[in-house]
Amino acid sequence: MTQHNENLGIDQNLYSDEDLLSHFPGFTNQYATLNGVRLHYVEGGTGTPLVCLPGWPQTWFSYKPVALKLAKTYRVLIVDLRGMGSSEKPQSGYDKKTMAADIAALLEQLGLTKAYIMGHDIGGMVAISFAFNYPQLTQKLIVLDGSHPTEGILQMSLIPAPGTFAGKMDADRPYAWWMGFNQVKELPEKLLAGRFQYLLDWLFQYVMLDDSKMSSLERAVYAGSYNDAESIRAANAWYQTFQQDIDDAKTYPPLAMPVLGIGSYVSYSYMKMGLPYVAKDLRLVGILDSGHYLFEEQPEQVLDAVLSFLA
C-alpha cells in the first residue's frame, strides 16, 4: 500500500510485518498478550533462545543485518517493545522495569527458563533492566550503544559546546537534544505526525558515520512506524520515564552474569566508564568506525563480537 504524503512530497510505502518477513527467511510473525499488553515479535532459528530488543526510532526490522546469521546457531526472538511497531501502545508502563517485565512474561508464556538477552539503544536499557530484575532468567547480556539510565543523564548539556554541533555527533561532547525534546508531552506529536521522515533522515545523518548504510527501505519502514501521533507519544514515553528508571537503578546490585558491551564512536568511552560499575563479569568492544546504528554500519564486526561472546 502506498500513501502520498503532501508534507514530504514523496510516496511513503507502508509495509506490513508479513511483507517484511520476506527479508527474514525462516522467521515467523508471532503475537502474545501478557503483562496487560499485546506484543509483536518475530522468531527464527533453533538452539538457546536469544531475545533481541530494538531501539529508537526503529522496530524489530533493525536486526535485519544480523538476524539470519544469529539464527544459524540460536533461537532468535526479536521483540517490538511496548509502544513500538506492531506492539500495543498503552498509556502507561514505559519505565524500563515494567518493559522488562513484559519480556519476562513472554519467556514464561513460551516456557523458557533462561535466555541470552541483547538490546540496542532503548532496547539496551530494557535488556539491562531485565538482567537486574530477572538474573535467574538471564544467561548472558549484550548491550549495544545503550545502558541503564542513571543520574548522569541529568548532566547532559542543554546547549552544545562550541564547535561540537556540526555535521556529525561529537564523540567527546555529544549533544543529544532529542533527549530533552522527547520529554515534552503532546507537542512532538503535533509537529512530527506525517513528517517523521524529516527527523529520521536528520538523525541518521548526525549519528552515523556513513548514513548511506541505512537503506531507503529501512528509512521507509521506520518512518511509517513512527509517523502517527500515537506512535510518537508512545516512543517518547520511553524517555519520559527516565526519572523512575534512575530511581530504580539505585536499588539494583551489580550484575553477576557475563555482560558484553559494544560501543560505537559515539558511546564507547561512556560505556567504558559506566558499565564496570554495574557488571562484575564484563567484556567491552569498541567499534569505533561505526556510528550509533551499528547493525547497519558494521554488521560483521557486531556478529564477530556477539558470536564470540555467546560461544
pLDDT tens-place string over residues 277-304: 999 999 999 999 999 999 999 999 999 9
List Cα–Cα distances, 113 to 116, 194, 225, in angstroms: 11, 42, 32
Q: How far apart are CA 51 and CA 91, in angstroms?
A: 25
Q: Which three cell numbers stand for residue 252?
A: 539494583
Q: Which three cell numbers stand for residue 285?
A: 568492544
Position 13 confidence tier, pLDDT thresholds 50, 70, 90: low
**Every domain of the chain and the residues it spans:** 14-310
Worst-scoring range by mean pLDDT, 2-11, 71-80, 144-153, 200-209? 2-11
DSSP state of 186: S
Fold of 14-310: Rossmann fold (3.40.50)
Identify which of 185, 173, 171 has the alpha carbon closest to the alpha carbon of residue 239: 185
Chain length of the chain: 311
- Examine the pLDDT at 85 and tell me if it is beyond 80: yes
What phi, psi does 35 have (nearest 5°)?
50, 30
- The predicted-structure confidence for 111-152, as pLDDT tens digits, reads as follows 999 999 999 999 999 999 999 999 999 999 999 998 999 999
- Our measurement of the distance from residue 254's CA atom to the centroid of its chain's CA atoms, rounded to an integer in Å, reads 22
What phi, psi does 5 have (nearest 5°)?
-105, 110
Check residue 14 and give its pLDDT. Answer: 74
How much is the mean pLDDT over the chain? Answer: 95
In 10 A of CB 37, how many CB atoms? 20
Q: How far apart are CA 6 and CA 4, in angstroms?
A: 6
The string over 213-235, giving b where at least 16 C-beta atoms fall within 10 Å of a residue's C-beta and e elsewhere, is bbeeebbbbbbbbbbbeebbbbb
In 10 A of CB 288, how many CB atoms? 15
Check residue 221 and give its pLDDT. Answer: 97
Identify which of 88, 112, 66, 99 has the alpha carbon closest to the alpha carbon of residue 230: 88
- The predicted-structure confidence for 213-271, as pLDDT tens digits, reads as follows 999 999 999 999 999 999 999 999 999 999 999 999 999 999 999 999 999 999 999 99
Q: How far apart are CA 61 and CA 178, in angstroms?
A: 22
Identify which of 41, 47, 48 has the alpha carbon closest to the alpha carbon of residue 85: 41
Identify which of 62, 119, 64 has the alpha carbon closest to the alpha carbon of residue 96: 119
